[in-house]
A and B are shown apart, each in its own frame.
Chain A
Amino acid sequence: MPYFIFLVLFVVLPLLLIVLYALQDGAGHFTLRNITKFFTDKDALSTFALSLEVAIENTLLCVLIGYPAAYILADNKLNRSAVTVVLFILPMWINALMRTLATAELFNMAGIPLGKGTLLFGMCYDYLPFMIYPIYNQLKKMDKSYAEAAQDLGATPGQVFRKVTLPLSMPGVWSGVMMVFMPTVSTFAISEFLTNNKIKLFGTIIQENINNSMWNYGAALSLVMLIIIGLTTLLQGGDQQEEVSGGLI
């Protein structure tokens, strides 16, 4: 079918090209030098470690702030208005660069020096809706009778949440984590704006290499990211994606 050809040409082949370019030198000969260069490149390694750290912290922050919000939004007793839900997902639709620049200016105006703290808070602004939405969806879909049954059988509200609601909402949390974690590792531009170029994340290094025509090394760095994506997807079981983004509006 035509869409299969389309996907092979524009999705599979490009990903294979990342592998191909990563394993070649500038003249097109096979080499492992790009890969070994990454593992001996102190700058790249420390940036990589920092990116993972920032991404983990940002994801945790988003879960901690986002889960209660999603929980309240999905609870009929606490929130009846559909408009509030729209207000929470609306920022996703606004140009991220512009929002980020405004956030950085807000920090400037408040006299907070740009650095790792502002980076984390700014990223959390940017990605919070992506965490809230899948969790909200999962909680909304959940069959309420499980929680009611637990209550009838004598569970305290805390127990109901820990033993029933939370486990049942985990697929939503995982989708949110996927939507926040990988994009955070790979952002460029956003991290530059939020730290006034002081802190580089992994995405920035990839972008610099590609833009300076060091395609092969850039491809090798992208390959590192691809491997992480593959691993996280496998860990998560892969096919939960399906329900999440469907019917975003």
Chain B
Amino acid sequence: MNAKKFFAKAYLWLVLLILYAPIAFIVIFSFTEAKSLGNWTGFSTQLYQNLFNGSMQNASGLLAAVKNTLIIALVASIVATILGTIAAIGIHHLAGRKKQTMTFLNNIPMINPDIITGVSLFLLFVFLGISQGYMTVILAHITFCTPYVVLNVMPKLRQLNPNIYEAALDLGATPAQALRKVLVPALRPGMVSGFILSFTMSLDDFAVTFFTRGTIGLDTLSTYIYADARKGGLTPELKPLMSIIFLIILVVLLVINIRQSKQQALNNKK
């Protein structure tokens, strides 16, 4: 039994080691000054300093890309969360064939690979004669994020006692009050995970942005990295930037999960 456990652990750590090798590689080489990845010229925090003073090549380009990425992710995930929650409530109250149709339609963007979503939306904007830029990228991101919000809110709706909302109404709450005080708190965990999922998916997206950003020179971090790598020679300051992003994501995910498992442990005790 112990040998089995040892091998199981060893296997997990081996896979983790392989998974994290490229990430560790970025983090390690963010602490040296060399231009190309994999070239160690002694420990230095110069790249971090450059990143924060903005004293590097094409600083404005990278900064704009980071700003665009954050704005697009924030707007798209907020809209997707609201739209997805309302949609989930609507779908929950449907029945039979209508519900099936909506669930099916809602699944399509999740099954489609990025490139199909990107190309199809590109054709839509061309077809409708909408000039592409900020607006179209945000719309595209809302399109692929919303289904995931619906997916995360639906289970909470199923757990919800349908009488609570009506009880609130009977006790004299207006529909708006009942929504705010009863429905939203009950759905909040699903909305939050839908929001976080949307935010990170938007942050990471490359293909959909690539096809819907038009020709006005709009860059997000992904498209910036792509263009940069194709020119040959990645901007060295991307290494510290990615390391910082990695650290933030790691902390956020760990905190959420530890809180969740504590909550579960608490619930189990009751």
Contact = CB atoms under 8 A, between A and B. Distances in A.
Nearest to B262: A82
A241 B18 contact: no
A9 B22 CA distance: 40
A10 B119 CA distance: 12
- In this complex, which of A1, A73, A96 has the most chain B Cβ atoms within 10 angstroms of its Cβ? A1
Interface stretch (A42-50, A146-154, A158-166, A182-190): A182-190
B115 A206 contact: yes
Contact of A14 (B5, B20, B120): B120
Nearest to A8: B105
B38 A105 contact: yes
Given A203-B115, A229-B111, A242-B151, A215 B126 contact: yes
B221 interface: yes
A229 B115 contact: no
Interface stretch (B6-14, B50-58, B159-167, B168-176): B6-14
Nearest to B18: A125
Contact of A229 (B37, B38, B116, B124): B116
A94 interface: yes
B5 A78 contact: yes
A207 B103 contact: no
Nearest to B238: A98
A2 B246 CA distance: 37
B254 A14 contact: no
Nearest to B126: A215
Interface string A44-84: 00000000000000000000010011001101011100111
Nearest to A185: B113
A248 interface: yes
B120 A99 contact: no
B110 interface: yes
A142 interface: no
Interface stretch (B41-49, B70-78, B178-186, B196-204): B196-204
B257 interface: yes
Interface string A127-165: 011000000000000000000000000000000000000
A88 B11 CA distance: 13
Contacts of B32: none
B22 A125 contact: yes
A195 interface: no
Contacts of B250: 90
A168 interface: no
A235 interface: no
Contacts of A3: 83, 86-87, 90-91, 102, 146
A103 interface: yes
B225 A97 contact: yes
B156 to A, nearest CB: 10
B113 A128 contact: no
A82 B257 contact: yes
Interface residues of B, number: 84
Given A18-B120, A82-B257, A129-B19, A95 B204 contact: yes
A239 interface: yes
Contacts of B25: 102, 105-106
A167 interface: no
Given A68-B11, A78-B8, A242-B151, A21 B123 contact: yes
A15 interface: yes
A35 interface: no
Contact of B197 (A95, A101, A241, A249): A249
A173 interface: no
B134 to A, nearest CB: 17
- In this complex, which of A6, A18, A98 has the most chain B Cβ atoms within 10 angstroms of its Cβ? A98
Contacts of B193: 247-249
Contacts of A10: 121, 124, 139, 142-143
A17 B120 contact: yes
Nearest to A204: B115
Contacts of B23: 91, 94, 99, 102
Interface string B107-131: 1111111111001111110110000
Interface of A: 1-4, 6-8, 10-15, 17-18, 21, 65, 68-69, 72-73, 75, 77-79, 82-91, 93-103, 105-106, 108-109, 125, 128-129, 178, 182-183, 185-189, 193, 203, 206-207, 210, 215, 218-219, 222, 225-226, 229, 233, 238-239, 241-242, 245-249
